Structure 1
Amino acid sequence: MTCTHCGLRPASAGAALCPECLAAGAYPPPAPAGHPHDAPYTLPPGLPLRSPVGLGRATVTLLALVAVADVFAVGADALQLDSATQGRTSDLADLATGLTGGVQVLLMVATIVVYLCWLYRVRVNAELFDQSGQSMARGWVIGAWFCPFVNLWFPRRIVTDIWNASAPPGRPAGERLIDSWWALWLVSVIADQATTRFDGDGVWEARVMLFSDLTDMAAAVLAALVVLRLTRMQHQKALGVPAAPVLG
């Protein structure tokens, strides 16, 4: 039997795909639907659709760790605010702030790398679902996050295009979840940058850092939900599984 994905190599025993396509995370073609209204999306043969499930799980795990680190950072911020309000310094607060800040930086770097790998994969898949629905070139999937000014709205636009292309046929997925995540992310970034404006005013700096970590924690949770739902939509669409509407 020939591989049903690439159509070139023999399929593995008991499988519809060859070892190379299986290793690349390719999907077999979906089974025929039993009802015309449940007809799944049919992927043109030979196109390299790759599963986002593994990268999605890794991204969600790291985002969860970011949220946990933010919880500890909020505690450190509360200690700093208490000591600043009383007009004294606290070695415990300084130590807690330094430790949580270091952990946050390390987790953020790891999360950014894995998240961008996941985002690029779901973007490539989205082109196979609906290439005309992708309004920006592939290079912006990575570059949009690092270009000043455009990073305030380009990433959201890219995620929205992928989201809409991955939605079940005839069932719009909605964008409220993306809008909520992006709004909180922007607020947390702006608040983090604003802490430099309060040099010498420990009380306001501690308050802004507390607010920044709280919004960052909420943004991490919403980002994980976006990754989970988008990964699930692509997985179901690739397998031809009739999916219930995804709200948000």
Structure 2
Amino acid sequence: MICASCHSTEAVTGETRCARCAPVTPFVPAGPPLRSPVGLGQATVVMLGLVGAGDAVAIWADLAKPSLLADSVLDIAQGALLIATAVVYLCWLWRVRANAEVFDASSQSMGRGWVIGGWFVPIVNFWFPRRIVLEAWDASAPQGRPAGHALVNWWWASWVASLLADRLLRRQYDTGLAGAWALVVTDALDLVAAALAAVVVLKLTRMQHEKALQGPLLPTTALG
């Protein structure tokens, strides 16, 4: 059969036009592109470092007992810093969770809305965030080299411990020497949790970056 367009070349089998005249079907990606977590990861680590520094200052204040005004200013500054850090951290976590779906959607058992909601819904906020991070962690691990969970588990244990200390110790010992040491323990646990969270962010960000550079699983945006 002769091509219906140029009338000079044999048409492709099953088509009315030849290979030269047939329209080229544009490539459509099979799914959403990867987006680099590097910038958000770096910003999150910086914010967590500031939180840790704030905890260190708070430990000093717990023991030194500065003026009431200085103590109040420190509490306000810590609160504002925690809120800002939470916003940046959740943006980073949303990014790595979306990338994890690109790497291995079947391993992500929870809806993406839980990336944020899991931190605020009572009861489930004691394990949902850890599960989301672990699933993204596993999906981002290099092929043939599964990543262990010890680092994530230590981070989450320290975070839960700091929450419990804040809710229990601060209420039980709010004055005197016992109250001062309760504050020291709470702030120290929060400092450890912030430090371990920063390491988790660095590790997971690096794993995703390296896995994206291993090969074109899907079209990716520029990483770095």
TM class, shorter-length = 0.7 to 0.9
Q: Deviations over 1:29-85 (max 9, x none)?
A: xxxxxxxxxxxxxxx6553211011111110000000000111000001123xxxxx
Gaps of 5+ in 2: 1-25, 216-224
The 5-angstrom pairing of residues 93-242 of structure 1 reads 93-194=67-168, 195-199=170-174, 201-240=175-214
Q: Is the 8 A contact 1:76 1:93 kept in 2?
A: no
Structure 1: distance between partners of 2:201 and 2:97: 12
Structure 2: distance between partners of 1:121 and 1:227: 12
- The one-letter code sitting in structure 2 at the alignment partner of 1:73 is A
Runs (4 or more) in structure 1 with deviation over 4 Å come to none
Q: Per-residue deviation at 1:189?
A: 1.0
- State the Cα RMSD in Å: 1.7
TM-score, normalised to structure 2, is 0.80
Q: Is the 8 A contact 1:7 1:46 kept in 2?
A: no
Q: How many pairs were matched up?
A: 189
- The one-letter code sitting in structure 1 at the alignment partner of 2:51 is V
Structure 1: distance between partners of 2:171 and 2:195: 26
Q: Is the 8 A contact 2:31 2:102 kept in 1?
A: no
Question: Could you say which structure has the larger radius of gyration?
Answer: 2
DSSP-derived class of the 1:146 partner: coil
Q: What percent identity do the matched residue pairs reach?
A: 55
Structure 1: distance between partners of 2:68 and 2:91: 35
- The one-letter code sitting in structure 1 at the alignment partner of 2:33 is P
Q: Per-residue deviation at 1:94?
A: 2.8
Q: Deviations over 1:199-218 (max 9, x none)?
A: 4x422221111101011011
TM-score, normalised to structure 1, is 0.72
| Pairing partner for 1:72 from 50, 57, 65 | 57
DSSP-derived class of the 1:172 partner: coil
DSSP-derived class of the 1:187 partner: helix
The answer to whether structure 1 residue 60 and structure 2 residue 35 are counterparts is no
Q: Per-residue deviation at 1:7?
A: 4.9
Structure 1: distance between partners of 2:176 and 2:109: 45
Structure 2: distance between partners of 1:239 and 1:50: 12
DSSP-derived class of the 1:171 partner: coil
Structure 2: distance between partners of 1:176 and 1:232: 17
Q: Is the 8 A contact 1:129 1:165 kept in 2?
A: yes
Structure 1: distance between partners of 2:197 and 2:61: 24
Which residue of structure 1 lines up, in the alignment, with residue 4 of structure 2?
A: none
Structure 2: distance between partners of 1:46 and 1:211: 47
Which structure's relative contact order is higher, taking Cα pairs within 8 Å and 6+ residues apart? Answer: 2
Gaps of 5+ in 1: 1-5, 9-43, 81-91, 242-248
Q: Is the 8 A contact 1:70 1:214 kept in 2?
A: yes
Q: Per-residue deviation at 1:96?
A: 3.7
